[in-house]
Amino acid sequence: MVEGKAVFHKKNVVDEKRLSDNRKLSSRRDPARSPKQLRMQNCLDRLGISLKVKLVPKPNSARHGEIVSDYLLIYDEAETDAWETLCHEIVEYKLKSVTQVYRMLVNQLIEGYEKLAYQQKERFIKALPEIFETIEAERPTSNNRSKKA
């Protein structure tokens, strides 16, 4: 048991070193990253979230932040607001995996009802010729119509 824990601990140390190395590389690649942005990225890395934080101040934006592709964009300028937005977006991102089951269920239900509606529409279309023939057979001829009018 102790041996297994040591291996697990050693693996975490290796993973932490890899994350640390990746952070150093990413900060070298993008010298414009602020310390705040690096700390936020560190949070994502430690939580195992494979997104990249990007601070994009937009003071007049209706949104405080959003996830677009592989980026978590934060539009807030004030640091406290930016951290609140980071927290909100992380929770929303994690919650999405929980609600995915319900989205799949709803999509399956929609697909089933679309098939049912299609089958009913096809039966109706097949019945149309009989409807038109029945009406045509009972309709007075054009000579009879002009006499009634």
Please indicate, yes or no, if residue 14 is contained in any of the structural domains: no
The CATH code of the domain that includes 56 is 3.30.160
CB 50 within 8 A of CB 30: no
pTM above 0.75? no
Predicted confidence pLDDT, tens digits, the chain (149 residues)? 333 433 333 444 444 544 444 444 444 345 567 899 999 999 999 999 999 999 999 988 899 999 999 999 999 999 999 999 999 999 999 999 889 999 999 999 999 999 999 999 999 999 999 999 999 999 997 765 555 55
Please indicate, yes or no, if residue 24 is contained in any of the structural domains: no
Q: Domain limits at 62?
A: 32-99
Cα(132)–Cα(46) distance, integer angstroms: 70
Count of domains observed in the chain: 1
Cα(49)–Cα(13) distance, integer angstroms: 18
